[in-house]
Amino acid sequence: MNQKDEVHALSERLLVASHKGQLQNVVQLINKGAEVAVTKFGRSPLHLAAHKGHIEVVQVLLRAGCDLDIQDDGGQTALHRAAVQGNTQVISALLQESCALDRQDKDGNTALHEVSWHGFSQSVKLLVKAGANVHAKNKAGNTALHLACQNGHTQSTKVLLLGGSQPDTPNQAGDTCLHVAARYNHLSIIRILLGAFCSVSHKNLAGDTPLHVAAALNHKKTVSLLLEAGADSRICNNAGHTALDLAREHNSPQVALLLTKAPQSFVRGRSARKRREKLKAEGRAQSVPRDEMLPSKECGSAADDTPSSERASKKIYLSQPSLSDPLRRREARHSSALHRRKGKLRGVSPHTSFLPHNYKAYQLYTLYRGKDGRIMQAPLNGCRCEPLISKLENQLEATKEEMKTEIHAVQDLMNSKMGQLDHSNKHQMRTLEKLTLERARAERSQCQQRIEQKAVQERQECQKRQVGLYLCLYTRANYFSMLIVLHLSCCCRSRSSALSGDRRHRASSLDRSKSQGRTKGRGAVEVCAEQPVPSCAQERDNMQTVKVTQYFFEAVSTQMERWYERKLREARRQAEQKAQVDRAALLDRIAHLEDELSVLRQN
């Protein structure tokens, strides 16, 4: 095993030890030179230790220089993995090492989104204090406040509102946090949002207000709260339906009755809406003017968002009215008088018991944290434009972050598109080269096959012609020789038959004319004796004629053979010339295809 394999084995063991929280093994493996490896899902040892909550292992890995912001296949960092489990110690350790707070995963969620979704209010507080962007949106357009309102986490919602989150920020569907809370019927969240002066008449993309949503889902208490807050029941959505129409359409008689009696029953709600609009116009809705939005005891776990804690916060909310509420002026004066009496009884001067948040409730104010950790308010001595300026600055920062996010997203998209185009172009070029080469090879093989087939065919035709000519000459020679032989045999037979006939005739004439003289008999004998001499001469002439004829046919056959050989040479020469022409055409075609291929490669 070489050194590279040893380091790889140590890295694999480091992953296992980090996952199981084996501190001693982690320290030993790091000292042995183990490098940071990743699993098949792209998770480093820091991801595994942060997810399991092994704070000591996390601290050792951080001291060893492990990358804080490495992302797995889902785009999550170690901070995301710790936020999913709500490990405040791990989150604090990562924040102390200055990890990236607003890194988004593949769904666009930051660590603040994760802790807000699960309701870990202490983790939310840590991230907000560290400077996490409360205006960051995921791919659905939801902020961390949307997710906290959706799951009904009251403490997380309060912390996010105090951290500067805007409750009227819409998501991609146009829903604000009040829409979400009304849809899931979270009454405590609705009260908190209404206390933060959120808009009750904001419309989503479908034109529905929170009152439309609550009426369609038969949420009677939510409808009652919204009407008390000044929601207008006469607003129509994009389909031209009011909240009363939706309640009737979804068979909600109680909600319909409540909406029907709304103009008579909730006159106070309309005055509250006017008061809220007036406060917004004065710039007083920049922060929450309620002293009980963040309790004095800091509780940072998901248990704070249980129904019992919601009921407790509800009691506190109902029992402690806002000092900045104009309708509670008399109660505020009464409470201040009680404070004076208690101070006198305890021997404390009334001026020392008066804190800045106990008077001048109608002036502009600023928030500060007291010695006991509670959020206080004090009169704002300065320009009235400062809240608006701070609001504009926050909006500008949020817009900058959104623009940066959009630019990065567009850049990533363009890079991915360009990479895909480059990959597809290279693949097409390789495919085109292969096709061109295959086509050239196929055409070359086809041309060679055609040339070979043509040569074979011409050779066979020449052989057939040669065989046919040879057979023709041979049959002609045999035919002529047979004719001569037959002619000679016929001549010999005719002559022999003529001679025999003459002999018989002469013998019969001798027998008949015995009475005639010897002179006649001698003349006949002399004639018979003289006849064979011309027959031998004729046979000699015939033999000479046959020899001459044979010599003639031999000369003719030799001349025909020479003519055939000459024709065969001419045919071969023509075939070779044609093959050379075809070969030259094939070479030209191959050169043309190679030129086209080189041009394609250059392009």
Could you report the per-residue pLDDT of 523-551, keeping only the tens digit for each? 443 444 444 445 677 777 788 788 888 77
Residue 353 has pLDDT above 50, yes or no: no
Token readout for 142 is: 């939801």
The encoded tokens of residue 373 equal: 């950790």
Residue by residue, DSSP assigns 13-50 as HHHHHHHHT-HHHHHHHHHTT------TT---HHHHHH
Nearest C-alpha neighbor of 98 from the set 74, 131, 121: 131
The string of pLDDT tens digits covering residues 254-281 is 888 888 887 644 444 455 556 666 665 5
The band of 490, judged by pLDDT with boundaries at 50, 70 and 90, is: low
CATH topology of domain 1-100: 1.25.40
**Position 562 pLDDT exceeds 80:** yes
Q: Is the pLDDT of residue 170 over 90?
A: yes
503 or 342: which leads in pLDDT: 503
- 506 or 3, greater pLDDT: 3
To the nearest whole percent, how much of the chain has pLDDT over 70?
67
* Average pLDDT of the residues in 231-249: 90
Q: Choose among 568, 561, 571, 569: nearest CA to 473.
A: 561
Q: In the chain, what's the furthest Cα-to-Cα distance? A: 218
What are the beta bridge partners of residue 368? 376
Q: What is the mean pLDDT of residues 274-297?
A: 48
Given a cut of 60, whether residue 333 has pLDDT beyond it is no
Query: In whole angstroms, what is the distance from residue 468 CA to residue 472 CA?
Result: 6
C-alpha dihedral sign at 172, 173, 178, 184 = negative
Query: In this predicted structure, what is the pLDDT of residue 501?
Result: 57
Kindly state the average pLDDT of the residues 308-326. 39
For 154, 466, 473, 550, 552, the CA distances from 555, given in Å and listed in that order, are 129, 19, 12, 9, 5
CA distance 85 to 453: 80
Give per-residue pLDDT as tens, 368-402. 556 676 666 655 555 556 777 888 888 898 888 88
Q: Where in the chain is the domain with CATH 1.25.40.20?
A: 1-100
Summarised one tens digit per residue, pLDDT across range 69-95 is 888 888 889 899 899 998 899 999 999
Interatomic CA distance for residues 152 and 173, integer angstroms: 20
Give the whole-angstrom CA distance, residue 156 versus residue 116: 6
If DSSP codes are grouped into helix, strand and coil, which group holds residue 53?
Answer: coil
**How high does pLDDT run on average in the chain?**
75
Give the length of the chain: 603
Query: Under a CB-based contact definition with an 8 Å cutoff, are residues 300 and 88 in contact?
Result: yes
